[in-house]
Amino acid sequence: MPFDAALERGLGGLPDADRRLCHELAAGVLRSGEALDAILAPLLRRGLDHTDPSVLEILRLGAYQIRKLDRIPPHAAVATAVALTRERIGERQTGFVNAVLRRVSRAPVSPPPGLDLATRTSHPEWLVARWLERFGPDQTEALLAWNNSHPPLVVQPTSGDVDALAARFEAAGVRSFPAPYGAGLVLEETHPERLPGYDTGAFYVQDPAQSLVVRFAAVPPGATVIDACAAPGGKTIGLARTAGLVIATDLARRRLTRLRENLARTGRQNVAVIHADALQPPVAAADVVLLDAPCLGTGTFARHPDARLRVRPEALERLVAQQAALLDALADRVRPGGVLCYATCSLEEEENTLQVDRFLARHPAFRRAAIEGMDVPRNAVGDLTVLPQRDGMDGAYAARLVRDETGG
Protein backbone atom coordinates (compact mmCIF):
# COMPACT_ATOMS: atom_id res chain seq x y z
CA MET A 1 0.00 0.00 0.00
CA PRO A 2 1.42 3.48 -0.86
CA PHE A 3 2.66 5.59 2.03
CA ASP A 4 -0.06 8.26 1.77
CA ALA A 5 -2.87 5.70 1.63
CA ALA A 6 -1.48 3.73 4.58
CA LEU A 7 -1.09 6.88 6.63
CA GLU A 8 -4.62 8.02 5.87
CA ARG A 9 -6.00 4.65 6.90
CA GLY A 10 -4.01 4.60 10.15
CA LEU A 11 -4.46 8.22 11.22
CA GLY A 12 -7.98 9.02 10.06
CA GLY A 13 -9.43 9.61 13.54
CA LEU A 14 -6.59 11.56 15.15
CA PRO A 15 -6.68 15.29 15.96
CA ASP A 16 -4.79 17.51 13.51
CA ALA A 17 -1.74 18.10 15.73
CA ASP A 18 -1.33 14.37 16.31
CA ARG A 19 -1.77 13.63 12.60
CA ARG A 20 0.97 16.10 11.71
CA LEU A 21 3.37 14.60 14.23
CA CYS A 22 2.63 11.04 13.10
CA HIS A 23 3.16 12.04 9.48
CA GLU A 24 6.48 13.63 10.41
CA LEU A 25 7.59 10.54 12.31
CA ALA A 26 6.54 8.03 9.66
CA ALA A 27 7.98 9.98 6.74
CA GLY A 28 11.11 10.86 8.71
CA VAL A 29 11.90 7.25 9.57
CA LEU A 30 11.44 6.27 5.92
CA ARG A 31 13.71 9.10 4.76
CA SER A 32 16.38 8.35 7.39
CA GLY A 33 16.13 4.57 7.74
CA GLU A 34 19.68 3.61 6.78
CA ALA A 35 21.23 6.48 8.73
CA LEU A 36 19.23 5.46 11.81
CA ASP A 37 20.35 1.85 11.39
CA ALA A 38 23.95 3.03 11.25
CA ILE A 39 23.44 4.76 14.61
CA LEU A 40 21.67 1.78 16.17
CA ALA A 41 23.87 -1.04 14.82
CA PRO A 42 26.86 -0.52 17.19
CA LEU A 43 24.46 -0.49 20.15
CA LEU A 44 22.80 -3.84 19.34
CA ARG A 45 24.84 -6.73 20.66
CA ARG A 46 23.12 -9.22 18.33
CA GLY A 47 23.13 -6.81 15.37
CA LEU A 48 20.33 -5.47 13.22
CA ASP A 49 19.53 -8.76 11.50
CA HIS A 50 18.95 -10.60 14.78
CA THR A 51 16.84 -7.94 16.47
CA ASP A 52 13.08 -8.49 16.55
CA PRO A 53 11.71 -6.48 13.55
CA SER A 54 8.95 -4.91 15.67
CA VAL A 55 11.47 -3.86 18.31
CA LEU A 56 13.75 -2.48 15.61
CA GLU A 57 10.95 -0.31 14.20
CA ILE A 58 10.33 1.16 17.66
CA LEU A 59 14.06 1.79 18.07
CA ARG A 60 14.18 3.62 14.73
CA LEU A 61 11.17 5.69 15.73
CA GLY A 62 12.78 6.65 19.03
CA ALA A 63 16.17 7.33 17.47
CA TYR A 64 14.57 9.59 14.86
CA GLN A 65 12.89 11.67 17.56
CA ILE A 66 16.12 11.92 19.56
CA ARG A 67 18.33 12.82 16.60
CA LYS A 68 16.04 14.75 14.28
CA LEU A 69 13.28 16.46 16.29
CA ASP A 70 14.44 19.26 18.56
CA ARG A 71 10.97 19.86 19.96
CA ILE A 72 10.78 16.39 21.58
CA PRO A 73 13.09 16.01 24.62
CA PRO A 74 15.16 12.79 24.50
CA HIS A 75 13.70 11.55 27.79
CA ALA A 76 10.19 11.92 26.37
CA ALA A 77 11.14 10.02 23.21
CA VAL A 78 12.61 7.20 25.30
CA ALA A 79 9.55 7.06 27.57
CA THR A 80 7.19 6.96 24.59
CA ALA A 81 9.18 4.17 22.94
CA VAL A 82 9.17 2.13 26.15
CA ALA A 83 5.42 2.58 26.54
CA LEU A 84 4.85 1.58 22.91
CA THR A 85 7.01 -1.51 23.41
CA ARG A 86 5.01 -2.49 26.49
CA GLU A 87 1.73 -2.05 24.61
CA ARG A 88 2.68 -3.69 21.31
CA ILE A 89 5.30 -6.30 22.25
CA GLY A 90 5.31 -6.88 25.98
CA GLU A 91 7.13 -6.03 29.17
CA ARG A 92 10.08 -8.31 28.42
CA GLN A 93 11.53 -5.99 25.76
CA THR A 94 11.03 -2.66 27.56
CA GLY A 95 14.36 -2.72 29.39
CA PHE A 96 16.22 -3.42 26.15
CA VAL A 97 14.51 -0.54 24.29
CA ASN A 98 15.10 1.80 27.22
CA ALA A 99 18.82 0.95 27.40
CA VAL A 100 19.47 1.28 23.66
CA LEU A 101 17.68 4.60 23.26
CA ARG A 102 19.34 6.09 26.32
CA ARG A 103 22.67 5.25 24.71
CA VAL A 104 21.46 6.89 21.49
CA SER A 105 20.66 10.06 23.42
CA ARG A 106 24.18 10.11 24.92
CA ALA A 107 26.04 9.26 21.70
CA PRO A 108 27.66 12.00 19.56
CA VAL A 109 25.16 13.81 17.33
CA SER A 110 27.35 13.69 14.19
CA PRO A 111 26.95 10.67 11.87
CA PRO A 112 29.18 7.67 12.64
CA PRO A 113 32.61 8.02 10.98
CA GLY A 114 33.03 6.39 7.60
CA LEU A 115 29.34 6.50 6.70
CA ASP A 116 29.03 6.57 2.90
CA LEU A 117 26.79 9.03 1.09
CA ALA A 118 24.07 6.50 0.26
CA THR A 119 23.79 5.26 3.86
CA ARG A 120 24.03 8.73 5.37
CA THR A 121 21.09 9.93 3.24
CA SER A 122 19.18 6.61 3.22
CA HIS A 123 19.18 6.06 -0.55
CA PRO A 124 19.91 2.91 -2.58
CA GLU A 125 23.64 2.65 -3.19
CA TRP A 126 23.25 1.72 -6.86
CA LEU A 127 21.08 4.77 -7.49
CA VAL A 128 23.44 7.17 -5.74
CA ALA A 129 26.31 5.78 -7.82
CA ARG A 130 24.33 6.51 -11.00
CA TRP A 131 23.56 10.04 -9.91
CA LEU A 132 27.17 10.75 -8.93
CA GLU A 133 28.27 9.71 -12.40
CA ARG A 134 25.59 11.80 -14.11
CA PHE A 135 25.28 14.89 -11.90
CA GLY A 136 28.59 15.01 -10.04
CA PRO A 137 29.07 15.18 -6.25
CA ASP A 138 27.67 18.66 -5.57
CA GLN A 139 24.42 18.23 -7.50
CA THR A 140 23.96 14.71 -6.16
CA GLU A 141 24.33 15.92 -2.58
CA ALA A 142 21.77 18.64 -3.32
CA LEU A 143 19.39 16.10 -4.87
CA LEU A 144 19.67 13.77 -1.87
CA ALA A 145 19.06 16.69 0.49
CA TRP A 146 15.95 17.66 -1.50
CA ASN A 147 14.68 14.09 -1.31
CA ASN A 148 15.00 14.21 2.48
CA SER A 149 13.13 17.51 2.77
CA HIS A 150 9.42 18.22 3.19
CA PRO A 151 7.83 19.36 -0.10
CA PRO A 152 5.25 22.13 0.27
CA LEU A 153 1.60 22.04 -0.69
CA VAL A 154 1.14 23.41 -4.22
CA VAL A 155 -2.23 24.00 -5.90
CA GLN A 156 -3.34 24.80 -9.43
CA PRO A 157 -6.42 26.84 -10.47
CA THR A 158 -9.14 24.75 -12.10
CA SER A 159 -10.11 27.72 -14.25
CA GLY A 160 -8.82 31.27 -14.50
CA ASP A 161 -5.22 32.04 -13.67
CA VAL A 162 -2.84 31.78 -10.73
CA ASP A 163 -3.10 35.49 -9.91
CA ALA A 164 -6.89 35.30 -9.47
CA LEU A 165 -6.55 32.29 -7.17
CA ALA A 166 -3.83 34.05 -5.16
CA ALA A 167 -6.11 37.07 -4.73
CA ARG A 168 -8.88 34.82 -3.46
CA PHE A 169 -6.54 33.25 -0.92
CA GLU A 170 -5.22 36.65 0.16
CA ALA A 171 -8.75 37.93 0.74
CA ALA A 172 -9.29 34.98 3.08
CA GLY A 173 -6.02 35.62 4.95
CA VAL A 174 -4.19 32.65 3.36
CA ARG A 175 -0.57 33.30 2.45
CA SER A 176 0.73 31.99 -0.87
CA PHE A 177 3.49 32.68 -3.35
CA PRO A 178 4.13 31.63 -6.96
CA ALA A 179 5.77 28.28 -7.61
CA PRO A 180 8.84 28.19 -9.89
CA TYR A 181 8.01 29.00 -13.52
CA GLY A 182 4.63 30.29 -12.33
CA ALA A 183 3.43 26.68 -12.18
CA GLY A 184 0.92 27.00 -9.35
CA LEU A 185 0.78 28.49 -5.86
CA VAL A 186 2.87 27.38 -2.90
CA LEU A 187 0.99 27.46 0.41
CA GLU A 188 1.93 27.26 4.07
CA GLU A 189 -1.32 25.40 4.79
CA THR A 190 -1.05 21.61 4.84
CA HIS A 191 -4.78 20.79 4.59
CA PRO A 192 -6.14 21.73 1.14
CA GLU A 193 -9.71 20.95 2.21
CA ARG A 194 -9.56 23.95 4.58
CA LEU A 195 -8.74 26.43 1.84
CA PRO A 196 -11.37 28.74 0.35
CA GLY A 197 -12.67 27.31 -2.90
CA TYR A 198 -11.91 23.66 -2.16
CA ASP A 199 -15.55 22.59 -1.91
CA THR A 200 -16.45 24.38 -5.13
CA GLY A 201 -13.47 22.96 -7.03
CA ALA A 202 -11.65 26.24 -7.56
CA PHE A 203 -8.27 24.47 -7.41
CA TYR A 204 -6.64 21.05 -7.24
CA VAL A 205 -3.42 19.85 -5.63
CA GLN A 206 -0.57 19.23 -8.07
CA ASP A 207 3.20 19.61 -7.93
CA PRO A 208 4.57 22.32 -10.25
CA ALA A 209 6.50 19.74 -12.28
CA GLN A 210 3.30 17.96 -13.30
CA SER A 211 1.71 21.29 -14.19
CA LEU A 212 4.69 21.98 -16.43
CA VAL A 213 4.09 18.67 -18.24
CA VAL A 214 0.57 19.85 -19.11
CA ARG A 215 1.92 23.24 -20.20
CA PHE A 216 4.57 21.55 -22.33
CA ALA A 217 1.98 19.34 -24.06
CA ALA A 218 0.38 22.57 -25.38
CA VAL A 219 -3.06 21.12 -26.14
CA PRO A 220 -4.80 23.18 -28.87
CA PRO A 221 -8.20 24.67 -27.96
CA GLY A 222 -11.02 22.22 -28.65
CA ALA A 223 -8.73 19.25 -29.24
CA THR A 224 -9.68 15.64 -28.50
CA VAL A 225 -7.17 14.20 -26.02
CA ILE A 226 -6.46 10.69 -24.81
CA ASP A 227 -4.97 10.78 -21.32
CA ALA A 228 -3.57 7.27 -20.93
CA CYS A 229 -2.68 6.12 -17.38
CA ALA A 230 -4.70 9.13 -16.20
CA ALA A 231 -5.43 8.50 -12.51
CA PRO A 232 -5.51 10.22 -10.07
CA GLY A 233 -6.40 12.97 -12.52
CA GLY A 234 -4.28 16.06 -11.91
CA LYS A 235 -3.06 16.20 -15.51
CA THR A 236 -6.55 15.29 -16.74
CA ILE A 237 -7.98 18.40 -15.09
CA GLY A 238 -5.17 20.51 -16.51
CA LEU A 239 -5.66 19.15 -20.03
CA ALA A 240 -9.41 19.76 -19.81
CA ARG A 241 -8.85 23.51 -19.41
CA THR A 242 -8.27 23.85 -23.16
CA ALA A 243 -9.33 20.51 -24.69
CA GLY A 244 -12.75 19.95 -26.20
CA LEU A 245 -12.83 16.40 -24.85
CA VAL A 246 -10.44 14.43 -22.67
CA ILE A 247 -10.76 10.65 -22.69
CA ALA A 248 -9.14 9.57 -19.43
CA THR A 249 -8.21 5.90 -19.19
CA ASP A 250 -6.56 3.80 -16.51
CA LEU A 251 -6.27 0.10 -15.73
CA ALA A 252 -6.59 0.42 -11.92
CA ARG A 253 -10.23 0.61 -10.82
CA ARG A 254 -9.35 1.97 -7.37
CA ARG A 255 -7.38 4.83 -8.90
CA LEU A 256 -10.22 5.54 -11.31
CA THR A 257 -12.52 6.05 -8.34
CA ARG A 258 -10.21 8.76 -7.07
CA LEU A 259 -10.05 10.31 -10.55
CA ARG A 260 -13.84 10.50 -10.73
CA GLU A 261 -13.96 12.09 -7.26
CA ASN A 262 -11.44 14.75 -8.32
CA LEU A 263 -13.37 15.46 -11.52
CA ALA A 264 -16.65 15.74 -9.63
CA ARG A 265 -15.19 18.19 -7.13
CA THR A 266 -13.69 20.41 -9.82
CA GLY A 267 -16.81 20.25 -12.00
CA ARG A 268 -15.12 19.19 -15.23
CA GLN A 269 -17.79 18.11 -17.73
CA ASN A 270 -15.61 17.55 -20.80
CA VAL A 271 -13.90 14.39 -19.49
CA ALA A 272 -14.95 10.81 -20.26
CA VAL A 273 -13.50 8.23 -17.84
CA ILE A 274 -12.93 4.72 -19.21
CA HIS A 275 -11.53 1.65 -17.48
CA ALA A 276 -9.06 0.43 -20.10
CA ASP A 277 -5.55 -0.87 -20.66
CA ALA A 278 -3.36 1.65 -22.50
CA LEU A 279 -1.84 -1.28 -24.41
CA GLN A 280 -5.28 -1.66 -26.00
CA PRO A 281 -6.51 1.93 -26.40
CA PRO A 282 -10.31 2.16 -26.59
CA VAL A 283 -10.33 5.18 -28.93
CA ALA A 284 -9.53 5.11 -32.64
CA ALA A 285 -7.67 8.45 -32.87
CA ALA A 286 -7.10 11.74 -31.09
CA ASP A 287 -5.45 15.08 -31.70
CA VAL A 288 -3.25 14.67 -28.61
CA VAL A 289 -2.25 11.54 -26.69
CA LEU A 290 -0.60 11.96 -23.31
CA LEU A 291 1.21 8.94 -21.92
CA ASP A 292 2.15 9.60 -18.31
CA ALA A 293 4.04 6.34 -18.19
CA PRO A 294 4.65 4.01 -15.25
CA CYS A 295 8.21 4.71 -14.16
CA LEU A 296 10.75 4.30 -11.38
CA GLY A 297 9.54 7.58 -9.84
CA THR A 298 12.98 8.78 -8.81
CA GLY A 299 11.89 12.40 -9.21
CA THR A 300 9.30 12.10 -6.43
CA PHE A 301 11.28 10.68 -3.48
CA ALA A 302 10.66 13.80 -1.38
CA ARG A 303 6.89 13.48 -1.80
CA HIS A 304 6.86 9.67 -1.58
CA PRO A 305 9.52 8.69 0.98
CA ASP A 306 8.61 5.00 0.76
CA ALA A 307 9.34 4.83 -2.98
CA ARG A 308 13.11 4.62 -2.51
CA LEU A 309 12.64 1.34 -0.63
CA ARG A 310 11.15 -0.32 -3.71
CA VAL A 311 13.46 0.74 -6.54
CA ARG A 312 15.71 -1.96 -7.99
CA PRO A 313 17.86 -2.13 -11.15
CA GLU A 314 15.70 -4.98 -12.44
CA ALA A 315 12.59 -2.81 -11.95
CA LEU A 316 14.17 -0.15 -14.15
CA GLU A 317 14.73 -2.70 -16.92
CA ARG A 318 11.14 -3.96 -16.65
CA LEU A 319 9.69 -0.44 -16.72
CA VAL A 320 11.74 0.58 -19.75
CA ALA A 321 10.30 -2.37 -21.68
CA GLN A 322 6.76 -1.54 -20.49
CA GLN A 323 7.11 2.10 -21.52
CA ALA A 324 8.28 1.12 -25.00
CA ALA A 325 5.30 -1.20 -25.43
CA LEU A 326 2.89 1.55 -24.33
CA LEU A 327 4.43 4.08 -26.71
CA ASP A 328 4.15 1.65 -29.61
CA ALA A 329 0.52 0.87 -28.76
CA LEU A 330 -0.48 4.53 -28.57
CA ALA A 331 1.44 5.80 -31.59
CA ASP A 332 -1.29 4.71 -34.04
CA ARG A 333 -3.93 6.55 -31.97
CA VAL A 334 -2.36 9.91 -32.86
CA ARG A 335 -4.01 11.54 -35.86
CA PRO A 336 -1.76 12.75 -38.68
CA GLY A 337 -0.40 16.10 -37.56
CA GLY A 338 -1.30 15.28 -33.95
CA VAL A 339 0.84 15.17 -30.83
CA LEU A 340 2.10 12.30 -28.70
CA CYS A 341 3.34 13.64 -25.37
CA TYR A 342 5.39 11.13 -23.38
CA ALA A 343 6.01 11.94 -19.70
CA THR A 344 7.54 10.39 -16.59
CA CYS A 345 8.36 11.47 -13.05
CA SER A 346 11.75 9.79 -13.34
CA LEU A 347 15.27 11.20 -13.45
CA GLU A 348 16.71 8.18 -15.28
CA GLU A 349 17.82 8.70 -18.86
CA GLU A 350 16.78 5.18 -19.93
CA GLU A 351 13.18 6.10 -19.15
CA ASN A 352 13.39 9.57 -20.65
CA THR A 353 15.56 10.86 -23.49
CA LEU A 354 16.93 7.46 -24.47
CA GLN A 355 13.44 5.94 -24.45
CA VAL A 356 12.22 8.67 -26.82
CA ASP A 357 15.28 8.31 -29.06
CA ARG A 358 14.53 4.59 -29.47
CA PHE A 359 10.85 5.32 -30.17
CA LEU A 360 11.72 7.82 -32.90
CA ALA A 361 14.05 5.27 -34.49
CA ARG A 362 11.15 2.78 -34.61
CA HIS A 363 8.57 5.35 -35.74
CA PRO A 364 10.08 7.72 -38.33
CA ALA A 365 6.68 9.40 -38.86
CA PHE A 366 7.20 11.19 -35.51
CA ARG A 367 9.59 14.01 -34.65
CA ARG A 368 10.32 16.19 -31.65
CA ALA A 369 8.33 19.44 -31.83
CA ALA A 370 8.52 21.45 -28.62
CA ILE A 371 6.90 24.89 -28.62
CA GLU A 372 9.54 27.57 -29.02
CA GLY A 373 9.81 30.28 -26.38
CA MET A 374 7.86 28.37 -23.71
CA ASP A 375 9.17 29.09 -20.21
CA VAL A 376 10.05 25.59 -19.02
CA PRO A 377 13.37 23.89 -18.16
CA ARG A 378 14.65 21.82 -21.08
CA ASN A 379 17.49 19.47 -21.91
CA ALA A 380 19.87 19.73 -24.87
CA VAL A 381 17.35 18.28 -27.35
CA GLY A 382 14.48 20.48 -26.15
CA ASP A 383 12.57 18.01 -23.99
CA LEU A 384 11.07 19.18 -20.69
CA THR A 385 13.54 18.17 -17.97
CA VAL A 386 12.85 19.16 -14.36
CA LEU A 387 15.55 18.42 -11.78
CA PRO A 388 14.63 18.80 -8.09
CA GLN A 389 18.06 20.04 -7.02
CA ARG A 390 18.02 22.73 -9.70
CA ASP A 391 14.36 23.66 -10.08
CA GLY A 392 12.98 23.28 -6.54
CA MET A 393 10.15 20.85 -7.35
CA ASP A 394 9.58 17.17 -8.13
CA GLY A 395 11.56 15.75 -11.00
CA ALA A 396 9.75 15.28 -14.31
CA TYR A 397 10.37 14.70 -17.99
CA ALA A 398 8.28 15.12 -21.14
CA ALA A 399 8.86 14.89 -24.88
CA ARG A 400 6.43 16.44 -27.35
CA LEU A 401 6.32 14.35 -30.53
CA VAL A 402 4.36 15.35 -33.64
CA ARG A 403 3.18 12.86 -36.25
CA ASP A 404 3.66 13.75 -39.91
CA GLU A 405 0.59 15.06 -41.72
CA THR A 406 0.76 12.05 -44.01
CA GLY A 407 0.46 9.72 -40.99
CA GLY A 408 3.62 7.83 -41.90
**CB-CB contact of 122 with 32 (8 Å):** yes
Please state, in angstroms and rounded to a whole number, the distance separating the CA atoms of residues 344 and 338: 20
CB burial of 231-251 (b: ≥16 within 10 Å; e: otherwise) equals bbbbbbbbbbbbbebbbbbbb
> CA 172, 173, 178, 184 torsion: positive or negative?
negative
Question: Catalytic site residue 341?
Answer: no
Please state, in angstroms and rounded to a whole number, the distance separating the CA atoms of residues 348 and 344: 10
Q: Which residues pair with 185 in a beta bridge?
A: 155, 178
Cα radius of gyration (the chain): 23
Kindly state the helix (H) or strand (E) to which residue 255 belongs, with its residue range.
Answer: helix 253-266
Q: Quote the Cα angle for 273-278-281, to 5°.
A: 75
Catalytic residue from among 229, 295, 341, 345: 345
Please state, in angstroms and rounded to a whole number, the distance separating the CA atoms of residues 356 and 343: 10
DSSP for 137-184, written as a single string: HHHHHHHHHHHTS-PPEEEEESSS-HHHHHHHHHHTT--EEEPGGG-S
Please confirm whether the linkage preceding 232 is cis (ω < 30° from 0): yes
**Separation of CA 91 from chain center:** 40
Please state, in angstroms and rounded to a whole number, the distance separating the CA atoms of residues 24 and 20: 6
Q: Which residues are known catalytic residues? A: 345
